[in-house]
Structure 1
Amino acid sequence: MNILLVNDDGIESKGLEILARALTPHGKVYVSAPAVQQSAKSHAISLSSTLKIEQAPLIPGTLGALKVYGTPADATRAGLSLFNIEFDLVVSGINDGPNIAMDILYSGTVGAAKEAKIYGVNAIAISADNLELDYLYDEAIKTLDEVIENKSYINDGILNINFPKFSFEKPKGVIYTHQGRRYYHSEFVKKTNEEDTYYLKGSLTRYNEELTSDVWAFENGYISITPVTLSRTDFDLLNKLNK
């Protein structure tokens, strides 16, 4: 199996190292990642500018690495094109911070995985509350082993996997979930010492989440696996309009 690793935290992120170690037993692993931090870039691509792409030092266990001066989706495109290899799977992450609920709309980690799926390659996005979790490496291996062995990644969408809050010594198990509702509400706050300059002050807006949501799983100590599709069509509304 040929596996491409991508992310949005940048080529030097510890998350790539963890994934490389976890996935090497499953095949030949290559890396294509942004040169610098690209969080919250969603599915942006560079259309109106050139892209600088360099060979990067190999992460242990990998066979090739590209440093892409662009977005996470750019990195996915570059890896799929420039390695001249037919990839079987793209794994994005491990992101430093969860990508649950409305985070999915903004996430460069998920965006990079979606770009792979547009190209017809199965994809998994992986995030964790932070990359220093004591259990993360062992649980990443265990989860990826099960997903790959059962071929759960072969579907019409992307698997979005999140490891739970740091307050849990280790995950209680795995729950297959749907996207939750919570989101970050932002306020524009003006800096008093700089004219016409603002910064975003964010706070979480919460809802009563169902027990099958990724938010509930994350906050209650479970690994969540959420299938995410590329289609944005509201079929319920479409059927009503057609009637």
Structure 2
Amino acid sequence: MRHTLALTAAAAALAGLGATAFAAAPAPTPAAERAHPAPRPLAGLRILLSNDDSMQAARANNSDGLGLYELRRAMCAAGADVVVMAPWQVQSGKGTAVTNGGVLTAQRRTALPAGYEADCADAPSGGAVFGVCLGEGGCAPDSPSATPADTVKLALRGGLAAKAGWKGAPDLVLTGINSGPNIAASVNDSGTVGAAVAAIDQEVPAIAFSSSGDESRLSFPRGNYRAHAEFGARLVAGLRERGLLTSAFALKVDYPDVSAGRAAKAPVWTRVGDGAVAYHAYERRGSGDAFDIVLGLCEGGESEGECAESRKDADSTWLLGKGHVTIAPITWDRTYGTPVEAARELKAVRRYVEREAPRP
């Protein structure tokens, strides 16, 4: 069974289009922790961070970039040098779209969301955050935005050198954390995944992170983002330690909803599902030329139509149905039947995920 919902504020929130209340600034670090600082397994690693939710983090339902700041926080805490270049406005659903002409402006954000100001204070780049808009003369509140893929391409093709002084490519591109999972058919539309694909297309390793929300409240709790970000930092550290950060394929990491006290289950190596969890539908207005864009939501148990899932190792099944963290490899090569050129790397990463990866 499936049904459609008009893209009202509630449905838009569920789709990741919806807004960020901020918690108070973190409590001061105890003296004991200052005397014995936590290990920094990502020290020396340069990370470009982008997303498709923007860098605004201003909406009450946390759907416009709060996950990006949680990911930035966790990576800097682990010792990485992080620079953010993200879309100026929400760009959910843009996939791998790029802008073919005009001007891009990368404008630094100086007043960061409350509680996140000092997260990267001791990093070489200071955790600089840039929003990328279209047009000259600075980015205004209503400026049109660059796409997720635009931001990564700009960063790798001169933006990081000009704005952060980096020589050469970053060691890793991270995208997200997205407000809502990117699973099954939604992966084709995902700007979070599209930005990661833009990175591996330039031979830079990339990981795309997406978190489930609280469906009962149509929101994306900070706790989900934080749990995912901290897991992500440990995952990246493990991959780095084993020499498994590769540009042969990107990794897509989806995290279940843990806001009600449920614990996320161990990571599972999956494929992208061949069914749908959500889809676009179009409802005609009377007999005229206009059609309302509506969000179709699949309910569990469908055995027919576009909602049906046939793969036992589908990301949607293991994430939504069983509560596991899901990890799937994503490639830029859309040629059907292409042999796996990095078979040894793929096998090694899969083995790490299945046997050695950190537990939530």
Identify the match of residue 172 of structure 1 among 265, 280, 296.
265
Structure 2's unaligned 5+ residue stretches are 1-44, 57-64, 121-125, 134-145, 214-219, 299-305, 340-360
AA of the residue aligned to 1:67: G
Q: What does residue 229 of structure 2 align with?
A: 140
AA of the residue aligned to 1:38: Q
Identify the match of residue 87 of structure 2 among 6, 22, 34.
34
More strand by share: 1
Q: What does residue 110 of structure 1 align with?
A: 193
AA of the residue aligned to 1:179: V
Q: What does residue 23 of structure 1 align with?
A: 75
AA of the residue aligned to 1:206: C
User: CA deviation digits over 1:22-81, x for unaligned, max 9?
Assistant: 111241000001110001111111112222321222563243221101101111122222
Alignment of 1:194-209 (within 5 A): 195-203=288-296, 204=298, 205-209=306-310
Is the alpha carbon distance of 1:168 and 1:231 closer, same or farther for their aligned partners in structure 2, counting shifts above 3 Å?
farther
Q: What does residue 212 of structure 1 align with?
A: 313
Greater shift after overlay, 68-77 or 78-87? 78-87
Alignment of 1:16-165 (within 5 A): 16-24=68-76, 25-57=78-110, 60=117, 61=120, 62-69=126-133, 70-80=146-156, 81-84=158-161, 85=166, 86-130=169-213, 131-132=220-221, 134-151=223-240, 152-165=244-257
**Contact between 2:66 and 2:222, CA under 8 Å: does it hold in 1?**
no
Greater shift after overlay, 171-180 or 147-156? 147-156
**Contact between 2:206 and 2:247, CA under 8 Å: does it hold in 1?**
no
Q: Give the deviation of 1:216 after TM superposition.
A: 1.0
Which structure's CA Rg is the greater one? 2
Q: Name the CA distance, whole Å, in 1 between partners of 2:178 and 2:92.
A: 9
Local SS of the residue matching 2:326? strand
Q: Give the deviation of 1:200 after TM superposition.
A: 1.9
Q: Name the CA distance, whole Å, in 1 between partners of 2:129 and 2:189.
A: 25
Q: Name the CA distance, whole Å, in 1 between partners of 2:330 and 2:131.
A: 27
Question: Percent of aligned pairs with the same residue?
Answer: 28
Local SS of the residue matching 1:179? coil
Local SS of the residue matching 2:319? helix
Identify the match of residue 2 of structure 1 among 27, 30, 46.
46
**Count of residues paired in the alignment:** 236
Greater shift after overlay, 201-210 or 28-37? 201-210
Q: What does residue 241 of structure 1 align with?
A: none
TM-score of the two chains, using structure 1 as the length reference:
0.88
Q: What does residue 332 of structure 2 align with?
A: 230
Local SS of the residue matching 2:75? helix
Q: Name the CA distance, whole Å, in 1 between partners of 2:66 and 2:313.
A: 30
**Contact between 1:165 and 1:218, CA under 8 Å: does it hold in 2?**
no
User: CA deviation digits over 1:194-240, x for unaligned, max 9?
Assistant: 95321122323422443421011111100001011111111279xxx
**Contact between 1:87 and 1:121, CA under 8 Å: does it hold in 2?**
yes
Q: What does residue 11 of structure 1 align with?
A: 55
Q: What does residue 352 of structure 2 align with?
A: none
Greater shift after overlay, 97-106 or 194-203? 194-203
Is the alpha carbon distance of 1:168 and 1:236 closer, same or farther for their aligned partners in structure 2, counting shifts above 3 Å?
farther
**Contact between 1:209 and 1:216, CA under 8 Å: does it hold in 2?**
no
User: CA deviation digits over 1:175-194, x for unaligned, max 9?
Assistant: 011110122443321235x9
Local SS of the residue matching 1:8? coil
Is the alpha carbon distance of 1:4 and 1:222 closer, same or farther for their aligned partners in structure 2, counting shifts above 3 Å?
same
